[in-house]
Structure 1
Amino acid sequence: MTKEKEFYKNLEPYLNCIDYTVSKESYEVMHNEEYDMLVTSPLPVNLDKYYKSEEYISHTDGSKNMFEKTYQLVKSYTLNKKLKLINSLKTDSRTVLDIGAGTGDFLKTCKENKWTTFGVEPSIDARNIAKEKKIDLVENLESLGDKKFDIITLWHVLEHIPNLKQYINKIKELLKPNGYLIIAVPNYKSFDAKYYKEFWAAYDVPRHVWHFSKTSIKKIFKEFKMEVIKILPMKFDSYYVSLLSEKYKKGKMNYLNAIYIGMKSNIKAKKSLEHSSLIYLIKND
């Protein structure tokens, strides 16, 4: 597993974070001034084992407790918002590729609305759940061959990719000229990130290798002749992340404080435009 060496040059200490989900190991989150982004260091050789946790619910359809039930309810709402976004884009043939497709809910929604769907998901457990929904996913980008897509989406995936520029280059090869790339990532410049500091759940070390700002996303994709044409907020993320952050900070989910901080983050973002997570709509040349 490779990582982009240039992002690890001239780093300054920013925070020390703990992997609260799996290993309880400590990692440095370092600041790269050139790109205005943060990087996790050191990066484990075998990242796969850091995803093996029952608490890692993004690859499940669990609804065992109040937190998971709320997660699934919000997911249903956000799926419709995502569908509305791709429906607003002019495309040649309505083909969409979802990278990091999880259990296939986004593609299922797209398929039900007359999109031709393709998906990539490395987790075999998630692929099996998706297959039960009649959504067939492949394990990696190489399995897609020389297909070209109108729209490629990565919903909270890019921050997980160690070989970042190599991966973006492959995505560009899969995207049609004038096609659209949609990326959602956490924003470490949000109020909830600054409030929770090392307990901010969206650092999620070491699974999150990179921690992006608007500057870093624009700069990185400009190098591939791809332009950020719109930035949209993910307003529910501030509440979800705050709930987890409360648990990491205090040992339990303080729902009232999490709702308060999530709301405060969204209110402050009305002026700063620094929401907890951001969606970037990127146009290929």
Structure 2
Amino acid sequence: MNFSNDNVFISVKDYSVSGENFELLLDEELQLLKTHPQPSTVNLPKYYESDDYISHTDGKRSLFEKAYHFIKRKAIRDKVALITSLQPQKGQLLDIGAGTGDFLQEAKNQNWNCVGIEPSEKAKTIAMGKGVSFAGDLTTLENNSFDVITMWHVLEHVPDLENYIFELKRLLKPDGTLLIAVPNYKSFDAQYYGKFWAAYDVPRHLWHFSKISIEKLFANQNMKLVKVLPMVFDSFYVSLLSEKYKTGKMNFISGFLIGLQSNLKAKRNFEYSSHIYVIKND
């Protein structure tokens, strides 16, 4: 990867925790953005210390959180249906960044053999109360041991990106399926909101992907991108949060309209707010 401090794509701010400013550097060949500076592994956890970090809580304090969890329930059912369609013979499933465990709970109920990885002890405790099992970290798991590996909005949080992709390759069975969901900085809502785009989410998001960057990064490990799927709800969620960062208020109508416009434009250029990437061993 080739990043230069002279090649700044955009300057952005951490709106949810620290208020600190960061730059996003562009690797032009990979079409990949890198958050700069990246916090050390020692300092990174403090940027997650917020009651508003919604994936680490089951809270439903506001209308926004209630709407999030309502949509989340449908999205989880859709995700489990997707992995079953891609891998009909249900086997071993690893979910990295399992959060509060709702996806794994649903997959387990549908007869997948499930295990999760989650760094947040708070989220993990909630998930274990739902019957979800956890491994310590990737290095404790055996080679070629999973039929399906999922990372729902997690790869952007990984410090050592290239080594992590190597580990995913190691853990996946030869005929297994890897599903990666990440935001797309080339979407219309990203361009519209610019530095206020909530899915930049610095510095928790260390990397910012395009379709090209995903394809090339995994090709380097002899893995093939076989399908790209849209996440149509993400544009609405991200646009609502971006409205809050831009105006200080949750403008539901404006956020909804921009989210809708982003999806309509993406029907033509297939640059949705977020994508699911289906990846196989080459």
Give the secondary-structure state (helix, strand or coil) at the position aligned to 2:260.
helix
- CA shift for structure 1 position 14: 1.2
What is the distance in 1 between the residues matched to 2:278 and 2:90? 19
Q: What amino acid is aligned across from residue 187 of structure 1 in structure 2?
A: N
Give 1:92 deviation, angstroms: 5.4
Aligned length: 280
Q: Distance in 2 between matches of 1:36 and 1:146?
A: 30
Helix, strand or coil for the counterpart of 1:219? helix
**Could you tell me which of 121, 129, 133 is aligned with 2:130?**
133
User: For the structure 1 residues 260 and 165, does the alpha-carbon distance in structure 2 shift closer, same or farther, using more than 3 Å as the test?
Assistant: same
> Residue in 2 aligned with 1:3?
none
Alignment of 1:51-70 (within 5 A): 51-70=48-67
- Tell me which of 114, 119, 123 is aligned to 2:116: 119
Question: What does 1:229-244 correspond to in 2, within 5 Å?
Answer: 229-244=226-241
User: Is residue 28 of structure 1 aligned with residue 23 of structure 2?
Assistant: yes
Secondary structure at the aligned position of 1:237 is classed as helix
CA contact (8 A) 1:105 1:130 kept: yes
Match of 1:101 in 2: 98
Structure 1's unaligned 5+ residue stretches are: 1-5
Structure 2 distance, partners of 1:137, 1:7, is 35
Q: Pick from 7, 13, 19: which aligns with 1:18? A: 13
Letter of the aligned partner of 1:245 in structure 2?
S
Return the TM-score normalized by structure 2.
0.96
Deviation at 1:84, TM superposition (A): 1.0
Contact preservation (8 Å) 2:84, 2:90:
no
Whether the 8 Å CA contact 1:199–1:249 is kept in 2: the answer is yes
- Structure 1 residue aligned with 2:151: 154
Q: Is the 8 A contact 2:4 2:26 kept in 1?
A: no
Give the Cα–Cα distance (whole angstroms) in 1 for the partners of residues 239 and 60 of structure 2.
19
Matched, 1:198 2:195: yes
- 1:9 Cα deviation after fit: 4.3
1:111 counterpart SS class: helix
* Cα deviation 1:222-275 (Å, max 9, x = unaligned): 010100100000000000000110000000110000000000000000001000
Q: Any gaps of 5 or more consecutive residues in structure 2? A: none
Q: Percent of aligned positions with the same letter in both sequences?
A: 54
CA RMSD of aligned residues (A): 1.3
CA distance in 1 between counterparts of 2:6 and 2:207 reads 13
Q: For the residues of structure 1 that align with 2:87 and 2:47, how far apart are their CA atoms?
A: 39
Q: Give distance in 2, aligned partners of 1:197 and 1:69.
A: 27
Contact 2:87–2:177 (CA<8 Å) still a contact in 1? Answer: no
Shift of 1:142: 2.4
* Greater shift in the superposed pair: 185-194 or 82-91: 82-91
Shift of 1:177: 0.5
Distance 1:283 1:197 in 2: 33
SS at match of 1:8: coil
Kindly tell me: are residues 93 and 78 of structure 1, through their superposed partners in 2, closer, same or farther at Cα, counting changes over 3 Å? closer
Please give the TM-score of this superposition, normalised by the length of structure 1. Answer: 0.95
- Provide, for residues 184-233 of structure 1, a one-character-per-residue CA deviation record: whole Å limited to 9, x for no partner: 00000000000000000000001111110000000010010100100000
Q: Is the 8 A contact 2:30 2:212 kept in 1?
A: yes
